[in-house]
Amino acid sequence: MRTLIVIPARHGSTRLPGKPLLRLNGRSLLERVVRIAAQAGAAAGAAHLVATDSEEILDHCRAIGVDAVMTAPQLASGTDRALAALEASGQEADFIINLQGDAPFTPPHHVAALIEAAGAQDGDLFTPVIALSWPALDELRAHKQKAPFSGTTCLRSADGRAYWFSKTIVPAIRGEADLRRQSGLSPVFRHIGLYGYRLDALKRFAALPPGHYERLEGLEQLRFLENGMSVRAVEVAPPRLSMSGIDTPADLELAEKLIARHGDPFDAPASGEGGDGGEGGAP
């Protein structure tokens, strides 16, 4: 299975303009994600490149030594940009990984888990989720008091079929006190903004208009579900530093705190292992 890892890096973020170039502990968010792609690609035999709409980001790619292609600034989503990047690069791929340029804590083994799942299961879209511990759920709830649209949760079947994704915390939980006594894990799965697409599914997505709930939630993966496509929510172990993509100044501040508390993963050697075994860290 030929795999290409595409890193969409758009300059014009509404909530955090120029965020791929923002510094986190001295390194740009994009440089951190490129290193993740390189590590995952080496393990899985996958190529990687950056897709951007910005000459400034293109210059930064040259400076850090990563291949990049320019894509149209009017593209509506990272998924659209992933397909445009594949076409612009001239490469061939059966499976395309969309590794968000604002997710600097994505472990390489999460990327590998999607490639492995795509080789073993049917499905149009593959994306990882983490089962949150109760302390991690408490932290996510507290974070959403400050940044309600930061952090996504997922409803899924036991075999990994995704039912829905939402910026609200789902499911609502009755009898929570009893559940806390019964298990260290909550019933909430936090979605990680990492996607793997079959090529035909990616092309179909790009040809479809945005869905009603996709627009309301601001979640492009809902277009797959709204059009009857199959989404696999692949459960992965929580990393040592766990949070969703950086969308707001509050997220960037939280990322700095996590590095101060746990150390900088950029300085650590690549590892195929999971993280701290259940805390989940942060949204």
Q: What is the pLDDT of residues 226-244, one digit of tens each?
A: 999 999 999 999 887 767 6
Chain centroid, CA 143 distance in Å = 18
What stretches of the chain show up as alpha helix (H) in DSSP?
29-44, 55-64, 78-89, 108-120, 134-146, 176-182, 199-207, 212-217, 222-226, 249-262
> For the chain, which residues score pLDDT lower than 70?
14, 242, 244, 269-283
DSSP string, 222-243: HHHHHTT--EEEEE-PPPSS--
Quote the pLDDT of residue 101: 86
Contacts of residue 253, defined as CB under 8 A and 6 or more positions apart, other chains included, come to none
CATH of domain 3-267: 3.90.550.10
Give the domain ranges of the chain. 3-267
**Per-residue pLDDT reduced to its tens digit, 185-199:** 999 999 988 999 999
Quote the pLDDT of residue 277: 36
Quote the pLDDT of residue 216: 97
Quote the pLDDT of residue 273: 44
Rounded CA-CA distance 71/31 in Å is 19
Quote the pLDDT of residue 244: 67
Inter-residue contact 280 to 238 (CB < 8 Å) = yes
Backbone angles phi, psi at 268, to 5 degrees: -90, 150
**Per-residue pLDDT reduced to its tens digit, 245-266:** 788 888 899 899 999 998 998 8
Quote the pLDDT of residue 276: 38
CA separation (Å) from 149 to 115, 166, 176, 243? Answer: 28, 9, 24, 13
